[in-house]
Structure 1
Amino acid sequence: MIEAKGLSKKFGAKAALDKIDVAIGQGSIYGLVGSNGAGKSTFLRLLAGVYSPDGGELLVDDCQLFENSSVKQRVFFISDYPYFFPHATVQSMAEYYSKLYAKWNAQKYAEMLRTFPIDPKLPISRMSKGMQRQAAIICAIACQPDYLLMDEIFDGLDPVMRQLLKRIVSGEVSDRGMTVIIASHNLRELEDFCDHVGLFHRGGVLFERELDELKLGICKVQAVFRPMIDPAVLTKLQIITSKVHGSILELVVKNSQADALAVLEELHPLTAEALPLTLEEVFISEMEVNGYDIDSILA
């Protein structure tokens, strides 16, 4: 388990993290979301032991992380710009990590090479951005970490590789109980992947929640009206957002699906149905309740 208690980190006079409290359970896929500069990367680097805290505590299974080699051996960090030695190949990096990580799994390494279309003898510096991320993933999974940290990992990966990455990582979580923390400013990348999310903003944590819990009591519905009604007449619904596209009215409401559809049916629409919620729509609801404008936070 990861616990941050009053965790702070400053760079000069700027507080990158300001007394944050975060708890991340074992075997979860935790999404860090927020705009650029929100503190996500700083939090990951503290977790990786790259930075030391300026205040508070950061514990991994009740142990301090910084300059603790036994704990750091259980953590693998893929930064937004993965680092490799000059002139390194995937094979030479694999040889390096095999000496650094006690749980290095040669069989898993071979499996990852069969999964990702990469020549292990090709210099990584000659690879594309997406291929360099694939190289980092190959090494990370072969190291068999208990904690995998990834910063903007989807950047540069095509849709097929993104889904492949999600499947591989989810398999490691399911099979070994690995904990994954992934930072992104793009909610759409995380909504079908994470089970918990934490929203960072200006060095603080606005909230952290389980996704299923976030979606409780919120639903999205649409109905076709000819002529179109005024959404203001739907006083029985707690409307979060409403959009009109021609004859289609789309609502996100703080009501159950059954209640929302019953209210719409009273107005005799041509059709009415429930739609799946996006993570962004859930966040909009949460932010509006707390008086924040999510567009300014995630811009």
Structure 2
Amino acid sequence: MIEVKKLSKSFQKHQVLKDVDLTVKKGSIYGLIGANGSGKTTLIKHLMGIYKQDAGEVFINNEKVFENNDIKKSIGYIPDELYYFPMYSMKNMASFYKKIYPNWNEERYINMVHTFELDENRRINKLSKGMQRQVAFILTLSTMPEVMILDEPIDGLDPLMRKKVWKYIVEDVAERDVSVLISSHNLKELESICDYVGILNRGQMLIERDLDELKSDVHKIQVVYKTEIPEEITKDVNVLHQEKRGTVYLFIVKGEQKEIVSKFNKYNPMILDILPLTLEEIFIYELGGVGYEIQNVIF
């Protein structure tokens, strides 16, 4: 379990994080999303005990992380920018990991090497970016972590490799109650794997919700009226975005679905449809995205 309470961090006079709260429950997958420069990597480095916070607290499994080597041994961490010893092969790195991580699983390591079809004797810095990312997963998952913190983990992986990686992660969550935090710009894949989502914006936690609950709170409404749309509608509901295409109006609206539909129906629409809303659309409109073209709209 990961807990962050009122975390703040500044570098010189620039405040990167302000009063951030975050909770990753045991046996769940948490997606951390945010625009570039929102503070995601800085937050992750606090979770790993790399940075010391200016204020607030960071706990993993009810223990403070900073300068706590014992708790760090239970964390599997894959950073955005990978680093390996320059002359080391994967086999050399595996030997190094064995000395650090007490729960190293040699059988799992061997099985994963075969599954990913990698030559463990090749120098890692001679491998492609995607292969180096696979090495990171093999080494990290072989430590049998209780908590996994992954920063852009599938960057550079092809679709087949991504499927293999997610399979291992989901199995660890289901079978060993591993707690997983994933930071990624690939919102489509996060949507398919995460239980919870946190949206970080300018160093503050904008939203932290169960993904299904988050989707049930934001709706895409497609509506047609006989005449121009009544002005009262935009006053009655919380509109995040609206646009017009011919006679069709499209709204992104926040609130309880039944109440919203009731307010639109009050003005006798000719057509009213509720369309599926993606995590990417929720992210964009919660952050006040402007000029975004909503895709896959059926008229």
Q: Is the 8 A contact 1:33 1:186 kept in 2?
A: no
Q: What secondary structure does 1:192 align onto?
A: helix
1:67-146 residue pairs with structure 2 within 5 A? 67-146=67-146
Query: 1:60–1:216: structure 2 CA closer, same or farther, 3 Å change rule?
Result: same
Query: 1:8–1:231: structure 2 CA closer, same or farther, 3 Å change rule?
Result: same
Q: What code does the residue aligned with 1:17 have?
A: L
Q: What secondary structure does 2:142 align onto?
A: helix
Q: Is the 8 A contact 2:188 2:279 kept in 1?
A: yes
Q: Is the 8 A contact 2:199 2:283 kept in 1?
A: no
1:10 maps to 10
The alpha-carbon deviation at position 231 of structure 1 amounts to 5.0
TM-score by length of 1: 0.83
1:256 maps to 257
Listed one character per residue, the Cα deviations across residues 8-44 of structure 1 (whole Å, up to 9, x for unaligned) are 2232222222232222211111111112221111111
Q: Is the 8 A contact 1:36 1:185 kept in 2?
A: no
2:43 maps to 43
Q: What secondary structure does 2:192 align onto?
A: coil
Confirm or deny that 1:209 pairs with 2:212.
no
Query: 1:221–1:56: structure 2 CA closer, same or farther, 3 Å change rule?
Result: closer
The alpha-carbon deviation at position 242 of structure 1 amounts to 4.2
Q: What secondary structure does 2:36 align onto?
A: coil
Query: 1:295–1:89: structure 2 CA closer, same or farther, 3 Å change rule?
Result: farther
Query: 1:257–1:192: structure 2 CA closer, same or farther, 3 Å change rule?
Result: farther
Q: What secondary structure does 1:208 align onto?
A: strand
1:30 maps to 30
Percent of matched pairs sharing the same residue: 38
* Distance of 2:246 and 2:160 partners within structure 1: 34
Stretches of structure 1 lacking an aligned partner (at least 5 in a row)? none
The alpha-carbon deviation at position 273 of structure 1 amounts to 5.5
Query: 1:249–1:171: structure 2 CA closer, same or farther, 3 Å change rule?
Result: farther
* Distance of 1:117 and 1:258 partners within structure 2: 54
The alpha-carbon deviation at position 295 of structure 1 amounts to 5.7
Q: Is the 8 A contact 2:32 2:181 kept in 1?
A: yes
* Distance of 1:76 and 1:252 partners within structure 2: 38
Query: 1:192–1:145: structure 2 CA closer, same or farther, 3 Å change rule?
Result: same
The alpha-carbon deviation at position 178 of structure 1 amounts to 0.7
Q: What secondary structure does 2:35 align onto?
A: coil
Q: Is the 8 A contact 2:24 2:180 kept in 1?
A: no
1:179 maps to 179
The alpha-carbon deviation at position 253 of structure 1 amounts to 3.9
1:163 maps to 163
Query: 1:242–1:11: structure 2 CA closer, same or farther, 3 Å change rule?
Result: closer
Query: 1:228–1:119: structure 2 CA closer, same or farther, 3 Å change rule?
Result: farther
Query: 1:277–1:134: structure 2 CA closer, same or farther, 3 Å change rule?
Result: same
The alpha-carbon deviation at position 86 of structure 1 amounts to 1.1
Range that drifts further, 244-253 or 207-216:
244-253
TM-score by length of 2: 0.83
The alpha-carbon deviation at position 246 of structure 1 amounts to 6.4
* Distance of 2:69 and 2:110 partners within structure 1: 26
How big is the alpha-carbon RMSD for the aligned residues of Structure 1 and Structure 2? 3.0
Listed one character per residue, the Cα deviations across residues 220-276 of structure 1 (whole Å, up to 9, x for unaligned) are 3557x7x99755589498454445566876544445389749949x6445xx75543
Query: 1:281–1:95: structure 2 CA closer, same or farther, 3 Å change rule?
Result: same
Of 288, 294, 299, 1:293 maps to 288
* Distance of 1:25 and 1:259 partners within structure 2: 32
* Distance of 1:29 and 1:5 partners within structure 2: 19
Q: What code does the residue aligned with 1:166 have?
A: W
2:56 maps to 56
